[in-house]
């Protein structure tokens, strides 16, 4: 049966959800206060991470925990002002990261990741966006032999468990494959089946344009409130009232904002991150993750994009330039970085759940309300998978994956 659907949030997750709903014949309005793909899905590292079958756990080695707690390093940093608000969530994250629980959660996470390339492929083909995709994979580089050895063992384990194309390269091979790296390194893992996107925001815009070409509608408006009605929903927006049978909340890190009045409280917290572009003759052939330092360098249309690791801070607190500055100093020794481009530095927030799984499915207490948020470190990767799963649920189709592990009821009632 055709339904009138509204999707709130035109990031990678919401746009892909709208695309899949429209494909199934529903009347769909995608709403965003900005243009599609201009928030978190704009500023990320643009990797479609086929290799990320297991979600990133809270650090498990005491030495690492001590390093983060005492503010050494810059891959994970934290702001004291955030602690009273996020401490219990972060402790729950640490608890879910215990190896037995993490192994169990990884089965549900890996099932989503396993579908990421096929699901992006369907949208890329339909949207004619092949020119934005680099299928050459990406490299995690290691500075010490011990870290490289551990990573190589883990890469082989993951390759066996999840059918991922991981290739181990020693220092000499790495130097040949990436001659732009100026330091002598122990080696790299080449994740050959991962994609990198040359302009992440533009990819979301192409998917959105394809959705419009198929008869979907886009409304540029701020959604201010959600009100359940006898039949469906009424949305108060900056452009007036909008009515719908079904409403999908896909607002990324803002997904809690409209749900509080409906008394849904999720233990979401954010890991913020930064990027800056550089205009140098860097000579990198593909993306490089400096694994022991915790930042990424990704060749993009706008220049070489440097993205940082995680900053535990309040979503709306003022940006702190230190993490980006430290990563930049480190990257300067690794490659010819050049000068920062005229594009401004960017900050965004990864929407994270303590159990590392996204929330995808029906609202526990309201008919016609659906959730699709909390995709953490891999929301850009998972958008089309999440969009398909949610559209199947709204349409009453059997899901291509069992949606039970991602249900909202595990975190909120
Ligand atoms: C530094 C960094 C690097 C990253 N690298 C990667 C990567 O390489 N690969 C990967 O898979 N993931 C990566 N991520 C994570 C990824 O970017 C996010 O998980 C993903 O973009 C979330 O997508 P989304 O659609 O849920 O949210 P968003 O892209 O934030 O979209 C939410 C949308 O909702 C809109 N909105 C919010 N509230 C309202 C309202 N009231 N009314 C109207 N509109 C509203 C916003 O304007 C926004 O457009 C990275 C994140 C960061 C910060």
Give burial (CB, 10 Å; 0-12/13-18/19+) of 176: exposed
Mean pLDDT of the region 282-300: 95
pLDDT for the residue numbered 124: 98
Least confident of 221-225, 277-281, 365-369, 397-401: 277-281
Mind listing the domains of the chain with CATH numbers?
4-41+201-267+355-410 (3.50.50.60), 63-97+132-194+268-352 (3.30.9.10)
DSSP for 82-119, written as a single string: GHHHHHHHHHHHHHHTSHHHHHHHHHHHHHHHTTHHHH
263: left (phi over 0), alpha (psi -120 to 50) or beta: left
Residue 326 has phi, psi (to 5 degrees) of -65, -40
Name which residue sits closest to atom 12 of ligand 1, judged by CA: 378
pLDDT for the residue numbered 150: 97
- pLDDT tens digits for range 54-107: 999 999 899 999 999 999 999 999 999 999 999 999 999 999 999 999 999 999
pLDDT for the residue numbered 413: 66
Q: Which two tokens stand for residue 215?
A: 């008869």
Mean pLDDT of all residues belonging to the chain: 96
Residue in 36, 252, 271, 356 to alter for ligand 1 test, most ligand atoms within 8 A of Cβ: 252
Residue 176 has phi, psi (to 5 degrees) of -70, -45
Total-model pTM: 0.98
Mean pLDDT of the region 101-125: 97
* Percent of the chain clearing pLDDT 90 (strictly above): 97
pLDDT for the residue numbered 398: 93
Helix (DSSP H) and strand (DSSP E) numbers for the chain? 11, 23
Residue in 41, 257, 374 to alter for ligand 1 test, most ligand atoms within 8 A of Cβ: 41
Residue in 53, 316, 319, 380 to alter for ligand 1 test, most ligand atoms within 8 A of Cβ: 380
Question: How many Å apart are CA 29 and CA 110, to the nearest integer?
Answer: 31
- pLDDT tens digits for range 140-186: 999 999 999 999 999 999 999 999 999 999 999 999 999 999 999 99
Mean pLDDT of the region 181-207: 97
Ligand 1 centroid from CA 378, angstroms = 10
Residues paired with residue 304 on neighbouring β-strands, in sequence order: 278, 299
Name which residue sits closest to atom 22 of ligand 1, judged by CA: 379
Nearest-atom index, ligand 1, CA of 379: 19
Ligand 1 centroid from CA 250, angstroms = 9
Q: At what angle do helices 379-394 and 12-23 cross, to 10 degrees?
A: 30
Question: How many Å apart are CA 66 and CA 157, to the nearest integer?
Answer: 27
Instruction: Decide: 65 and 247 in contact? Cβ < 8 Å.
Output: no
The number of angstroms, rounded, from the C-alpha of 59 to the middle of its chain's C-alpha atoms is 19
DSSP one-letter code for 390: H
Instruction: Decide: 129 and 209 in contact? Cβ < 8 Å.
Output: no
Question: How many Å apart are CA 4 and CA 235, to the nearest integer?
Answer: 13
pLDDT for the residue numbered 412: 73
Pocket of ligand 1 (CB under 6 A): 8-14, 31-34, 38-41, 44-47, 49, 222-223, 250-254, 273, 275, 307, 348, 350, 373, 375-381
> How far is residue 265 from each of residues 4, 85, 196, 258, measured CA to CA in Å?
26, 13, 34, 10
- pLDDT tens digits for range 31-44: 999 999 999 999 99
pLDDT band at residue 2 using 50, 70 and 90 as cut-offs: confident
Name which residue sits closest to atom 33 of ligand 1, judged by CA: 9
Mean pLDDT of the region 127-137: 98
- pLDDT tens digits for range 305-322: 999 999 999 999 999 989
């Amino acid at each position: 049966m055709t339904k009138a659907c509204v999707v709130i949030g035109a990031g990678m997750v919401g746009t892909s959800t709208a695309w899949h709903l429209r494909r199934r014949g529903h009347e769909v309005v995608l709403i965003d206060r900005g243009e599609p793909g201009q928030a978190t899905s704009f500023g990320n590292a643009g990797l479609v991470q086929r290799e990320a079958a297991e979600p990133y756990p809270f650090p498990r080695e005491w030495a690492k925990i001590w390093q983060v707690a005492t503010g050494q390093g810059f891959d994970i940093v934290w702001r004291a002002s955030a602690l009273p608000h996020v401490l219990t969530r972060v402790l729950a994250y640490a608890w879910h990261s215990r190896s037995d629980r993490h192994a169990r959660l990884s089965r549900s996470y890996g099932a989503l990741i396993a579908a990421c390339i096929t699901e992006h492929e369907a949208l890329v083909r339909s949207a004619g966006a092949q020119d934005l995709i680099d299928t050459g994979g990406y490299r995690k580089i290691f500075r010490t032999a011990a870290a490289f050895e551990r990573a190589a063992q883990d890469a082989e384990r993951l390759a066996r468990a999840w059918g991922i194309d991981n290739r181990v390269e020693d220092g000499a091979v790495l130097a040949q494959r990436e001659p732009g790296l100026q330091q002598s390194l122990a080696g790299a893992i080449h994740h050959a089946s991962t994609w990198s996107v040359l302009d992440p925001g533009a990819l979301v815009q192409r998917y959105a344009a394809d959705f419009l070409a198929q008869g979907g509608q886009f409304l540029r408006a701020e959604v201010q409130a959600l009100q359940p009605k006898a039949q469906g929903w009424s949305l108060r927006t900056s452009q007036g009232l909008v009515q719908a049978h079904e409403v999908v909340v896909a607002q990324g890190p803002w997904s809690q904002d409209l749900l509080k009045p409906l008394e849904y409280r999720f233990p979401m917290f954010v890991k913020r991150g930064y990027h800056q572009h550089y205009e140098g003759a860097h000579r990198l052939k593909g993306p490089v993750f400096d694994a022991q330092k915790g930042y990424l360098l990704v060749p993009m249309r706008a220049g070489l994009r440097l993205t940082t690791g995680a900053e535990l801070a309040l979503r709306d607190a003022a940006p702190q330039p230190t993490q980006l500055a430290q990563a930049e100093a480190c990257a300067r020794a690794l490659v010819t970085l050049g000068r920062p481009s005229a594009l401004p530095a960017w900050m965004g927030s990864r929407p994270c759940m303590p159990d590392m799984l996204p929330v995808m499915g029906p609202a526990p207490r309201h008919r016609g309300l659906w959730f699709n948020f909390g995709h953490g470190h891999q929301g850009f990767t998972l958008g089309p998978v999440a969009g398909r799963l949610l559209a199947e649920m709204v349409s009453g189709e059997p899901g291509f994956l069992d949606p039970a592990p991602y249900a909202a009821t595990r975190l909120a009632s």
